């Protein structure tokens, strides 16, 4: 079984850790605990003809991507850039940050994710999706919407 | 001619002179007292020496007066919550004692080891011969053997990503992929923090384990050793790692986990660490 390193990046409080907890343990907590340094978790994704170990590195939140310790990002097979759909500030620099990652850490897939979709007013989701069409997927770590789908999608791309 | 009033005044003066003087004196004293009480500094100057003296006496009497009460209270508290006390103290004392003993054995073992380095090894009879020829008491050799080091786990980890390429372990542990990731994160953090020195992190001490790290171009080998990690074992471990590295290059199996783990198993079985 092959293993792939995934690094989660994004601003403070966008829900990086909650997203991973939802994916790995299928749990969610309202308590906000700041990530210090890096957390590493693992989950095996079972695809139709292949199993893959995702080793997920959860980094501490930062508005400036250059501030993340370079050594944590080395050898990454895929990045997940998490933003908060209710806070435009968290996705304003997304293109700039993607360029930085591609330039410095190889041409690996970067998945842009808009978290907290559960906070969008009912009935406005499709309109918001259009507004945020630069994001690959909208998810909700709290309710679990699209979380499994996101990681399965990543696993498929990494295998192919 | 003196009138009636003057006569009375004269008589009052004659009769009350002493009383008046006494009244004035008391009045003065009261004024002085009032002034002392009103002014903090003056009051403090008067009262402080008395309080100080009282406190000193109190402090001197604490062991006699409060000692038995404190002892009794503590005794009662410990008796009533034995489990909590043991729970709180055990990890601290236990670790301290374990570390102390381990360190002492390490020192003893290294001394004995140095003395017997060039004598042929063996069990029972050989040990007796060893003791005979080396002059080291057999008891000390036995003690040294008791503190022997054991290489318990070996991980081959990709540099940068921290992905586990292969491992060998004598005991079940927590998820080895997570260990690889965390070791890499710790290594990266330390090397980043001290990057001016341009050196790799070479070992991590954790409780009674020493994790020895040996860096190669694309990967590093981490070996978890329990017991006393001597310089001699370190050299042997490095030789072992070099042999593994040569085989990995020769067979080109760095990204073939099954073959790599078979190699680790074979090498581990055939290689004899003198410490073990």
Q: What pLDDT is recorded for position B115? A: 52
Contact B185 A72 (CB under 8 A): yes
Q: How confident is the model at residue B107 (pLDDT cuts 50, 70, 90)?
A: confident
Contact B185 A70 (CB under 8 A): no
Helix, strand, coil tally for chain B in percent (to 5): 65, 10, 20
Is the Cβ–Cβ distance between A109 and A158 less than 8 Å? Answer: yes
The per-residue pLDDT for range B160-192, each reduced to its tens digit, is 899 999 999 887 777 888 889 999 998 888 888
CATH number attached to the domain at B148-270: 3.30.450.70
Instruction: Identify which has the larger pLDDT, B115 or A159.
Output: A159
Q: How confident is the model at residue B145 (pLDDT cuts 50, 70, 90)?
A: low
Instruction: Identify which has the larger pLDDT, A92 or B96.
Output: A92
The per-residue pLDDT for range B227-253, each reduced to its tens digit, is 777 788 888 888 889 999 999 989 988
Domain coverage including residue A88: 2-159
Share above pLDDT 70 across residues of chain B, in percent, rounded to a whole number: 87
**Long-range residue pairs from A130-135, CB within 8 A, at least 24 positions apart, any chain:** A132/A85, A132/A91, A134/A91, A134/A94, A134/A95, A135/A83, A135/A91, A135/A94
Residue B207 has pLDDT above 80, yes or no: no
Q: What pLDDT is recorded for position A95? A: 93
- Least trusted range by pLDDT, from A102-116, A128-142, B42-56, B236-250: B42-56
Residue B121 has pLDDT above 60, yes or no: no
Q: What pLDDT is recorded for position B123? A: 63
Domain layout of chain B by residue ranges: 4-65, 82-145, 148-270
For residue A35, give the CATH number of its domain.
3.40.50.300
Residue B97 has pLDDT above 80, yes or no: no
Residue B267 has pLDDT above 70, yes or no: yes
Q: How big is chain A by its Cα radius of gyration, in Å?
A: 15
Q: Which residues of B touch A41 (CB under 8 A)?
A: 178
The per-residue pLDDT for range A71-125, each reduced to its tens digit, is 889 999 999 999 999 999 999 999 999 999 999 998 899 999 999 998 888 877 7
Residue B276 has pLDDT above 60, yes or no: no
Mean of pLDDT values over B81-97:
75
Total beta-carbon pairs less than 8 A apart between chain A and chain B: 53
The per-residue pLDDT for range A4-36, each reduced to its tens digit, is 999 999 999 999 999 999 999 888 888 777 888
Q: What pLDDT is recorded for position B119? A: 54
Q: What pLDDT is recorded for position B71? A: 84
Cα separation of B105 and B148, whole Å? 10
CB-nearest partner of A55 from B160, B177, B189? B177
ipTM score: 0.82
- Whether the CB of A25 is below 8 Å from some CB of chain B: the reply is no
**Mutant choice from A1, A36, A40 vs B, greatest count of B C-beta within 10 A:** A40
Q: Where are the beta strands (DSSP E) in chain B?
A: 150-158, 164-169, 203-206, 209-215, 219-226
Mean of pLDDT values over A125-133:
82
Q: Which residues of A touch B185 (CB under 8 A)?
A: 37-38, 40, 57, 72
Q: Which residues of B touch A52 (CB under 8 A)?
A: none
Residue B47 has pLDDT above 60, yes or no: yes
Minimal CA separation from B182 to chain A, in Å: 7
Report how many domains make up chain A: 1
Contact A74 B188 (CB under 8 A): yes
Contact B189 A37 (CB under 8 A): yes
Contact B164 A69 (CB under 8 A): no
Cα separation of A29 and A102, whole Å? 33
Q: Which residue in A105, A7, A19 sits closest to A59, CA to CA?
A: A7
Q: How confident is the model at residue A56 (pLDDT cuts 50, 70, 90)?
A: very high
Angle at B175 between CA B172 and CA B180, to 5 degrees: 115
Cα separation of A6 and B119, whole Å? 53
Minimal CA separation from B217 to chain A, in Å: 14
Minimal CA separation from A95 to chain B, in Å: 24
Q: Which residues of B touch A71 (CB under 8 A)?
A: 160, 188-189, 191-192
Minimal CA separation from B162 to chain A, in Å: 8
Q: What pLDDT is recorded for position A109? A: 93
Cα separation of B21 and B18, whole Å? 5
Cβ burial of A31 (10 Å; 0-12, 13-18, 19+) is exposed
Cα separation of B228 and B237, whole Å? 13
């Amino acid at each position: 079984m092959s293993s792939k390193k995934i690094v989660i990046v994004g601003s403070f409080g966008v829900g990086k850790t909650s997203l991973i907890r939802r994916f790995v343990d299928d749990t969610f907590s309202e308590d906000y605990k700041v990530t210090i340094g890096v957390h590493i978790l693992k989950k095996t994704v079972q695809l139709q003809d292949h199993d893959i170990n995702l080793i997920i590195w959860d980094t501490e939140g930062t508005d400036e991507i250059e501030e993340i310790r370079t050594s944590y990002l080395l050898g990454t097979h895929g990045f997940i850039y998490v933003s908060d759909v209710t806070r435009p500030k968290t996705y304003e620099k997304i293109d700039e940050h993607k360029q930085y990652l591609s330039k410095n850490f190889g041409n690996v897939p970067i998945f842009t994710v808009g978290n907290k979709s559960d906070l969008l007013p009912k009935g406005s989701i499709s309109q918001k999706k259009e507004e945020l069409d630069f994001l690959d997927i909208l998810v909700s770590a709290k309710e679990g919407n699209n979380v499994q789908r996101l990681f399965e999608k990543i696993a498929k791309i990494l295998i192919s | 001619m003196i009138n009636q009033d003057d006569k009375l005044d004269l008589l009052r003066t004659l009769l009350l002179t002493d009383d008046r003087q006494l009244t004035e004196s008391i009045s003065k004293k009261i004024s002085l007292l009032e002034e002392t009480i009103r002014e903090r500094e003056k009051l403090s100057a008067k009262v402080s020496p008395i309080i100080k003296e009282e406190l000193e006496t109190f402090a001197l009497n604490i062991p006699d007066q409060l000692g038995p009460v404190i002892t009794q209270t503590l005794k009662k508290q410990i008796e009533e919550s034995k489990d909590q006390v043991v729970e709180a103290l055990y990890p601290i004392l236990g670790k301290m004692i374990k570390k102390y003993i381990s360190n002492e054995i390490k020192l003893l073992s290294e001394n004995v080891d140095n003395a017997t380095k060039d004598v042929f090894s063996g069990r029972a009879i050989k040990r007796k011969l060893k003791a005979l020829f080396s002059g080291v008491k057999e008891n000390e050799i036995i003690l040294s053997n008791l503190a022997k080091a054991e290489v318990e786990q070996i991980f081959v980890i990709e540099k940068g990503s921290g992905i586990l390429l292969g491992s060998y372990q004598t005991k079940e542990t927590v998820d080895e992929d997570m260990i690889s990731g965390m070791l890499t994160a710790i290594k990266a953090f330390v090397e980043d923090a001290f990057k001016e020195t341009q050196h790799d992190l070479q070992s991590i001490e954790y409780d009674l384990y020493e994790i020895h790290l040996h860096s190669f171009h694309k990967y590093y080998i981490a070996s978890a050793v329990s017991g006393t990690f001597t310089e001699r074992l370190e050299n042997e471990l490095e030789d072992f790692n070099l042999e593994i590295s040569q085989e990995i290059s020769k067979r080109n199996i760095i990204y073939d986990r099954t073959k790599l783990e078979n190699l680790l198993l074979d090498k581990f079985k055939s290689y004899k660490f003198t410490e073990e």
